[in-house]
Each structure stands twice: as C-alpha cells, then as structure tokens.
Chains A and B, each alone.
Chain A
C-alpha cells in the first residue's frame, strides 16, 4: 500500500510534466500517509495536500478549479478520495461509493466544473483497483461512473502506469433506451 500511494504521486508528477525532483516518503502505520519535504518550506503530509502542491509547482492551477466554487468542489472530492475510496473498502462500502458517484455523475461530465481537474485524476487513480475488478454487468449498472472513468483514462498523461480498462459503449443488459 505504501508503495501504491508513492507510485501514484510519481505518476502525478509525470502527468503534470514535472521533473522527478521531489522526494516522497511515507509515514508507516495502518494506512501509509505520504510525506513531502519541500526545499525551503514545511513538510507536507497527506495525498490531497501534496497533490495540490505539485499542481501549483507545475503551474497548472486550473486543475484546482477555475472559480472559488470549483476550487471548493475539487477539495471536497480530494477529501472524498482519501476518506471514502482509500483504505480497502469492503464490498458493501465499494458499492456505496459507486452508487453515490454514479448518481452524482448522472448530469455531470467531470467531478468539479466543466473541465478535468485534480479531483478527477485522483479519483481515477483511487478507483482503478475497484474498476479493474468490476464485472461487465456491474460496469453497466454504474453507467455514469463507467462513462466518466473511460473518459478520464484517455486524457493524455492521466493513465500513466495503470492499465486501460475496457468499457462497452453498447449496453448489453438494458432493455430499450
């Protein structure tokens, strides 16, 4: 697990086009927490904090949201990622997450605002293990998550080391439109 979150941060550096100059480490514990010692500043702790910092380092602030509402929404989904998606959720918890997300994404293309943000990127990474394991009919049940996921994974640079997941665009189990 410790490896996973550090791999994710290096992947994010790649996605953002940053040189790999940051040194990450992890606080050991039940759930490993990433740490970044900045050059001249404080020690940053936690995925959401470090990821936001990297985005600023890369001068891609638009990934944190374009307006104050969007910025708040991005932070909300980063928190959601850490509190709800991470930490080996049980089957039931995972279903709950997918149900919530599918309802939320019914009338949205992105988690915050009308463009890809850090919220989408981190949620994508966090959900990947879950989606890999999802059988076809489940992907179809959570159709809005699937649509969102297959959109986010094709963004240049977002997928990184993760394998692409296949989604069917034609629905097999639904009757009529």
Chain B
C-alpha cells in the first residue's frame, strides 16, 4: 500500500482527490502544507523540490520509498486501490473518461464563474454568462447519466466520483443555489451522497450546499489584487515577483496563464471551517450542555451526576496528563502562565474538549496535572501543528472510563477537592478549559 508525503497548500481541492482516495485505500499520507515543512510559492520553487517535481506545482507526492509523482489525478490514482481505479479495463477506461471530463469540461467554466465570487478574479459579464451556460451543459450530461445510476462507474465509489465531486465542490458551495440546481436533481442526489460518505467527510468536513448564489466580490477583489497602476516602489516584493512572473509567462505563451495567480489567491480566500470529527458518529453526550451545568450549578450534586449519566464512552475519551518537566516550575506564576498559554493555543478545541488542570504543591516543588475529556478515542493534538508543543510537554494516559481510578480522578479534578493520591501534593490552584 502506498505511503508518503503530499505537498500542497492548505485546503487545495486537487489535493482532496488523493486524500479521499487514501481514505478508501488506507494509504498513509502525511500532508505538508504549512511551514516549516512547506510554504507555497517558496518550497515548490527550490532546486531540491524541482529535482523531484520539475513542474514545481502542487499537489506533489513523494512516497516513503522515494517514488515521486505529480499531477493530482496521477497522485490519486497511485494512492487508490483496485476498486477505485476500476476493476476491469472497461471500468478503468470509464473512470479515466470521467476524471478527464472533470478537468476538461467542468473545471474551465466552473473557475470562470466561481473565482470572481471569491474575489480572486475580475468579473466579466459575458464570460460569466457563457460559463453558466457551459455549467448547465455539463450538469445536463451528468444528470442524464445519473438518472439510472448510483455512482458514475459501476455500483460503488471510484476515482471518477472523487474527481468529479471535487471539481464541483466550489460550484455547489458558491453558486448552485436551490433554484439553479433544481433541474439536476440526480446530480445533487449523487453529490450529496458522495460528500456524506465518511471517507469524503473526513477530508471535506461537513459540506453545506449553496443557499444563495454568490455574486462578484468587488471589494475583496480590490483588496487582494495588486493594481496595475501602482508604482513599483509601493509594491511588496511578493507582488513584484508575481508581476514579473506574469510578464515572463506572457512572453512564453500566447495567453496569460491565469491559473498561477488564481492558485495563490484561492489561498488568500477564507479557509473553510471543517469539523475534524465529522467522521465520528453523532454522540449522545452534549459537551455544551455539560459545560453549562458545570459553570452554573453545583459540581458535586448536579454537574458530576450529569456527566456520568450522559457520558458516551464510544464518542469521547478521558485522559490523564502530567507535566513532564516539574523541576523547571520554580515559581507558581510560571506554572499558571504555562497552563493559560496552553488553553489559548487550544482555543479551537473548546467545543470538543474539557479539562481541569491543577497545580499542586508550592514554589520549587510543584506539579501540573490534569484530567481531559476529548471527542473521539484519539488525542486531538495531531489536528494542528501548533499543539505539538503542548502534547510533547505532557505525558498522556488514556483512562479506562469504567475504572474506579477514572471515577476518582474525574471527581477530584472537577471538584478541585480530595486526596489527590496520584500526586502526593496538596492542591494549590486550578484552571478549567471550557
């Protein structure tokens, strides 16, 4: 099975194709999309990168065994499995047909229509109207095909569905409002089914279909577009580089290659929010509800009973953490800063985590420990590079939810009261992550 590193900028729909394929095949892919590992526009222009990937574009994939491949469709093919590629020559040919269809028929009009609504391309009425007609044309084709079919090729998801869904993502997100998509019900049924498969969901997050057709975002366009008239010295080096690049390109080719700039500016567009836990089944334990109880009512008589009554050990896990470098905590205030800093970095986890972290002992003889509740069965730290530091500074131990030890720890840490036998030091102060 393939394993390796995928270079891309964050939230790149071309990279999604490989990532979704990997969810089906089980290929292990590490994504390098942000510094220090990868900086779009820089890393992919270094001689080292170009030696492996002469085109200098992303996504690009480097296998653990040194095998390198670029072009998003080729990468997705490589990390896929037999079922995704098509089990017979005929099926594989049809898969290739739809993958190519996505690139040659869907992508060009989709970009022309959608990019202005993201403020990353100038709006041109005629071009947009033409693109809309082209989009309708491909939707008619897909709709007729999907009327009698569940998926594009055969009876299960293939790379065809992955590629075509990914090429339609921006359309369904930005402009295909209910009235516009109404005649293409078969396409929407198929699209919604695909994006709700757990393998798609874990890459795309919860996908929301467009409610109202987005229009040209002139303001954003003005903000992100370096004006042609501005004099050279007002420009940032990056903008200058971009201009130069554009001119070079213009010399090389007949038309301007718009894609270069679009890519960089898609980056500037707001990242979609996505739920890293989307692949988990819904849980009966409502964290917010517990937090409300914990904040507003008596811990011992209300919040704790509520917690144990509603806790869902399949959907959540409880962890014990202890700071690994207690000797360095010479002053109590340092410890407090340490805890507060960690809570701030973990801000994004507030909906899906709860913790009571306490400082025990006194100056020169203290220890930080905590009880954490996380969504899912894994520690959340791998979700964001910023959190690595907090992860590494503690030892983490998953508690057996049904054990006496766990019951005691939860009680003492949520209450800030008790023997704290695990520490052998008296409670000094505590902080709650909520």
Please list the residues of chain A having a beta carbon within 8 angstroms of any beta carbon in chain B.
62, 66-68, 106-110, 114-115, 143, 146-148, 150-151, 154, 167-171, 177
Residue contact A151 to B189, C-beta cutoff 8 Å: no
Which residues of the other chain, B, contact A66 by a CB distance below 8 angstroms? Answer: 281-282
Q: List 17 A-B contacts (CB under 8 A).
A: A62-B281, A66-B281, A106-B189, A107-B192, A109-B189, A109-B190, A109-B193, A114-B196, A147-B149, A147-B150, A151-B155, A154-B156, A167-B148, A168-B148, A177-B140, A177-B143, A177-B144
Residues of B125-164 whose CB lies within 8 A of A: 140, 143-144, 147-150, 155-156
Q: Would you call B188 an interface residue if the criterion is a C-beta within 8 Å of the partner chain's C-beta atoms?
A: yes
B197 / chain A contacts, CB cutoff of 8 Å: 114-115
> Which residues of the other chain, B, contact A108 by a CB distance below 8 angstroms?
189, 193
Known: A108-B193, A168-B148, A169-B148. 9 other contacts (CB 8 A): A66-B282, A67-B282, A107-B185, A109-B150, A109-B193, A110-B193, A143-B148, A147-B148, A171-B148
Report the minimum CB–CB distance from A112 to chain B (whole Å).
12
Chain B 186-225 interface residues, beta-carbon cutoff 8 Å to A: 188-190, 192-193, 196-197
Q: How far is B150's CA from A114's CA once the two chains are assembled, in angstroms?
A: 12
Interface residue from B148, B185, B281 paired with A67 (Cβ < 8 Å):
B281
Compute how far the CA of A148 lies from the CA of B150 in the bound complex, rounded to whole angstroms. Answer: 7
CB <8 Å contact, B282 and A107: no
Contacts of A171 in B (CB 8 A): 147-148
Task: Tell whether A106 pairs with B185 under 8 Å between CB atoms, given A66-B282, A114-B193, A115-B197.
Answer: yes
Chain A residue nearest to B148 in the complex (CB):
A169
* Neighbouring A residues of B188 by C-beta, 8 Å: 107
Q: Is the CB of B193 within 8 A of A146?
A: no
Residues in A neighbouring B282, C-beta threshold 8 A: 66-68
How far, in angstroms, from A107 to B147 measured CA to CA in the complex? 10
Which residues from chain B contact A150 at a C-beta distance below 8 Å? 150, 155
Residues on A with C-beta less than 8 A from B150 are: 109, 147-148, 150-151
Closest to A110 in B: B193
A68–B282 Cα gap in the complex (Å)? 8
Can you list, as one digit per residue, whether each of B383-398 has a CB less than 8 Å from chain A (1) or not (0)? 0000000000000000
* Closest chain B residue, CB of each to CB of A140: B148
Instruction: Give every chain B residue within 8 A of A147 (Cβ-Cβ).
Output: 147-150
B193 touches A169 (CB 8 A): no
CA distance A30 to B282 in the complex (A): 42
In whole angstroms, how far apart are the Cα atoms of A62 and B314 in the complex? Answer: 13
The chain B residue with its CB closest to the CB of A167 is: B148
Closest partner residue, chain A, to B146 (CB atom): A147
Q: With A and B bound together, what is the CA distance between A171 and B186 in angstroms?
A: 15
Q: Are A146 and B148 in contact (CB under 8 A)?
A: yes
| Known contacts A66-B281, A146-B148, A147-B148; is-contact A107 B189 (Cβ 8 Å) | yes
Residues of B within 8 A of A169 (CB): 148-149
Cβ of A154: which chain B residues have Cβ within 8 Å of it? 155-156
**In the complex, chain B residues 330-358 whose Cβ is within 8 Å of any chain A Cβ:** none
- A169 to chain B minimum Cβ distance, whole angstroms, is 5
Residue of B nearest to A168 (CB): B148
Instruction: Closest B residue to A147 by CB, please name it.
Output: B148
Q: How far is the CB of A149 from chain B (nearest CB, A)?
A: 10
Q: Given the known A-B contacts A66-B281, A154-B155, are A143 and B196 also in contact in the complex, defined by CB atoms under 8 Å?
A: no
- Closest chain B CB from A170 CB (angstroms): 8
Interchain residue pairs A-B with the least CB separation, the first 6:
A177-B144, A114-B196, A151-B150, A154-B155, A109-B193, A67-B282
Closest residue of A by beta carbon distance from B195: A114
Q: Could you tell me the distance between the alpha carbons of A107 and B185 in the complex, rounded to whole angstroms?
A: 7
CA gap between A147 and B147 in the complex, in Å: 8
Residues of B within 8 A of A170 (CB): 148
Please, which residues of chain B bring their CB within 8 A of the CB of A177?
140, 143-144, 147
When distances are taken between beta carbons in the complex, the residues of chain A under 8 Å from B156 are 154
Instruction: With both chains docked as a complex, state the minimum distance between the C-beta of B268 and any C-beta of chain A, in angstroms.
Output: 33
A109: chain B residues within 8 A (beta carbon): 150, 189-190, 193
Tell me which of A62, A115, A147, A169 has the highest count of chain B C-beta atoms within 10 A of its own C-beta: A147
In angstroms, Cα B147 to Cα A167, docked, is: 13
Which B residue sits closest to A156, measured CB to CB? B156
Question: A143–B146 Cα gap in the complex (Å)?
Answer: 11
Q: Which residues of A contact B155 (CB under 8 A)?
A: 150-151, 154
Cβ contacts under 8 Å, B185 to chain A: 106-107
In angstroms, how far is the closest chain B Cβ from the Cβ of A116?
11
Minimum CB–CB distance from A136 to chain B (whole Å) comes to 12
Which residues of chain A come closer than 8 Å to B190, judged between CB atoms?
109
Question: B192 to chain A: which residues have CB within 8 Å?
Answer: 107, 114
Chain B residues positioned under 8 Å from A114 (CB to CB): 192-193, 196-197
User: Chain B residue with minimal CB distance to A146?
Assistant: B148
Considering the chains assembled together, what is the distance between the CA atoms of A122 and B282 in angstroms?
A: 25
Q: How far is the CB of B230 from chain A (nearest CB, A)?
A: 50
A147 to B282, CA, bound (A): 29
For B193, the chain A residues whose CB sits under 8 A away are 108-110, 114
Smallest Cβ distance from B285 to chain A, in angstroms?
13
Which A residue sits closest to B144, measured CB to CB?
Answer: A177
Q: How far is the CA of A148 from the CA of B193 in the complex (A)?
A: 13
Query: Residue of A at shortest CB range from B280?
Result: A66
Q: How far is the CA of A44 from the CA of B147 in the complex (A)?
A: 41
